[in-house]
Structure 1
Amino acid sequence: MILFQLVFTVVFDIRSSRSMKESTQITKNKPTQKTLEGRKRFLTGVKATGQIHLGNYFGAIKPMMELSQNIENEVILMCVDWHGLTNRSKILLPGELSHSIISLYLALGFNLKGNSIILQSDFPQIQENSWYLSCSTAAGLLERSHAYKDAIANGKEATAGLLYYPVLMASDIVTFDSQFIPVGKDQNQHLEYASDMAKLFNNLVETDVYLEAQGVIQETPTLIGTDGDRKMSKSYNNDIPIFAAKKEIEKKVKEIKTDSKGLDDPKDPNTCTIFQIFQSFASEEAISYMKERLEKGTGYGYGHAKKDFVDEHERVFGSFREKYDFYLNNKNTLKELLQPGYERAHKYADSVTERARMALGLKSYNKLK
């Protein structure tokens, strides 16, 4: 998860903050009317770069599903397709994947009542606000981002889009008057820099245009991949998809790394990669059963654990697959379901963008407005 798991994970060099401290001090700016209506507004998203896997589900999607069930919260869940365009070799992939990702959000039970699922590229206001933010942000900040520096250091092609990525991320947050951004323990710094950009702009125009969101630290640990060494990621090819065919799931589960303990040897669930991934989605009963069998060991080897893994995966996600296939093949129905949320989100985005334009003194000669 976005700002987020997954999604908004640009890491900045801590040194870049030092040059910005003085210019981001809070000043007495003119206040503006925000779009908040009493509920806590959360925003997060998933980048459209591949099949959604258990790491995405565990770290970003499942927590947002739970937040959407609380009537005191308003959740905006985005498919951030623009962010996926930074890789030139796979520039067509986000457009191919966005519908399947939104279908998955709905199939897994996201509560649309009072909440929103949106596609990033349906909101040009994000791009407009990102330009305003970029014009008040020093270029050095972007050049020191770890994502950009790592691409250069590893000989990869670093596009201008990758350099600009942090600004677009910040705009995702401010364009909807977002109050709370779920982030992992190691990701709070990303939000700090988005907040710095908002302060820079607000201080420059001497108007409280952009709301500074707060990070909500998720206690969810990073999910280990099938290799047992690195976090689960599509780029490491150590992921387990949610809605892949059962044969593909079986193939992926067979690849989970194990140690040399035999069939009857006791096994430690805390160091067992199979169990670590299993407990991210399985029921409490299934988790308890596997834990007990692994600890006893007698007659229960890793092959048994992998079979139980596949069976539980099918039980949990198989029940959602029919809904997923329905939304995947009924785009017009999906659009209708999303419209109330789209209307709310556009209202927020229009309001924020108009605040920025007024603060900048920009004129309009468009009769349609």
Structure 2
Amino acid sequence: MPTRVFTGLKPTGSLQLGNYLGAIRPLLDLAADPGADVVVCVADLHALTVEHDPALLRARTRELATTLLACGLDPSARLFVQSTVPAHTELAHLLECTATYGEMTRMVQFKEKSAGSDSIRLSLLTYPALMAADILAHDTEVVPVGEDQRQHLELTTTLARRFNARYGETFVIPRGSTPPTTARLKDLRDPRSKMGKTGSDGAGVLFLLDDPDTVAAKVRRAVTDGEPSLAFDPDGRPGVANLATLLGALTGRSPEEALAGLRGAGALKSAVTEAVVAALDPVRCRYAELEADPAEVDRVLRAGRDAVAPGAVATTARAREAIGLLGVA
């Protein structure tokens, strides 16, 4: 049987090129692997852990789903919205009853996001239990995980083993899979900071839906230096190194190879603009087609929900029975 793989993405902002290279492209490769049974979740409930605008959350949830499809995600990968499968939240409570307060407060992301704040949503503390439910509900075997989420996956496996030991074998124990090393893109205007979909004014961020003129303008204003010769030196010449990394990632070369034959920042920026536009134009055009046909996106999300919900309900029913809840037909 194919290996069950689960991945979730939070709709907290428009996807940018770093997301594409680091998460979406590896996900597309996984979905195309006949040995992988891929489940993809738009994790909208996780966006409720901080202050948010309801209308914007709905819009971003649809935008994320549409963007994944525009990037080439096959609907057969079972794409669905987390909140449309209530088993996730029911199972999350059972896992909260398995976890401890100390385990939750030790989560690095909770410490970072709650630091200096007097008013913190309780869901920010408990959302690792929901993340564990997301994974365990689908009998997940493999979770692609970056370094920033590894602690949460470790908690998931801890809770699953503890539940199984106390109440009987209920959950499949997942394991993490580190995606292939990808380019770590920096902000074009601040090449020592990560290119992120949130937390900046967007001037140095290349979003997947940026049109060619916008791409050209952002790359043109990217920080470099006045040296006519080009060299890959992340510490001494971070702006040039960032553009070289970007160009290499999009053209299948190392940063050093990407700089070969180019002279001066102008030539480098021109090559980067051409490569970015070539990569993003198909995505942007397909997104426009899907945006004009929202019923098709809804159909894919319904099909994904209907495909995964029975399994999630069955897993949650096993957990309910194991933990001692009364089932009444």
TM score, norm. by length of structure 1 = 0.79
1:136 correspondence with 2:108? no
Partner of 2:84: 122
Alignment of 1:146-225 (within 5 A): 146-155=108-117, 157-185=119-147, 187-205=149-167, 207-221=168-182, 223-225=184-186
Matches within 5 A, 1:1-369: 38-90=1-53, 92-113=55-76, 115-155=77-117, 157-185=119-147, 187-205=149-167, 207-221=168-182, 223-226=184-187, 227-237=190-200, 238-261=204-227, 263=228, 265-268=229-232, 272-280=241-249, 282-284=250-252, 290-294=258-262, 300-365=263-328
For these two proteins, the number of residue pairs brought into alignment is: 319
Secondary structure of the 1:110 match is coil
Query: 2:166, 2:232 → 1: CA distance?
Result: 57
Q: Which consecutive residues of structure 1, in runs of 5 or more, have no partner in the other structure?
A: 1-37, 295-299
Question: Counterparts of 1:83 and 1:252 in 2: how far apart (Å)?
Answer: 31
* Residues 104 and 167 of structure 1, relative CA distance in 2, 3 Å threshold: same
4+ residue stretches of structure 1 with deviation over 6 A?
285-289
Deviation of the 1:339 alpha carbon: 4.3
- Contact 1:76–1:116 (8 Å) recurs in 2: yes
Alignment partners' CA distance in 1, 2:26 and 2:215: 23
Which structure 2 segments of 5+ residues have no match? none
RMSD: 2.4
Distance in 2 (alpha carbons) for counterparts of 1:301 and 1:156: 50
Return the alpha-carbon distance in structure 1 between the equivalents of residues 112 and 103 of structure 2.
Answer: 15
Query: Aligned partners of 2:185 and 2:13: how far apart in 1?
Result: 18
Partner Cα distance (1:290, 1:153) in 2? 41
Cα distance in 1, alignment partners of residues 106 and 256 from structure 2: 46
Structure 1 residues 304 and 257 mapped into 2: Cα distance closer, same or farther (>3 Å)?
Answer: same
The residue type equivalent to 1:247 in the other structure is: D
Partner of residue 10, structure 1: none
Secondary structure of the structure 1 residue equivalent to 2:317:
helix
Measure, in 2, the Cα distance between the counterparts of 1:63 and 1:223. 14
> What is the TM-score of this pair, normalised by structure 2?
0.88
Aligned residue type for 2:247: F
Structure 1 residue 278: deviation in Å? 2.6
Identity of aligned residues (%): 26
Alignment partners' CA distance in 2, 1:208 and 1:242: 43
Q: CA–CA distance in 1 between the matches of 2:294 and 2:58?
A: 14
Residue 311 of structure 1 deviates from its aligned partner by 1.9
| Residues 291-321 of structure 1 deviation map (CA, whole Å, 9 limit, x = unaligned) | 2124xxxxx2212222222222111210222
Q: Secondary structure at 1:293's aligned position in 2? A: coil
- Residue type of the partner of 1:250? A
Q: Which has the higher mean CA deviation after the structures are superposed, 125-134 or 155-164?
A: 155-164
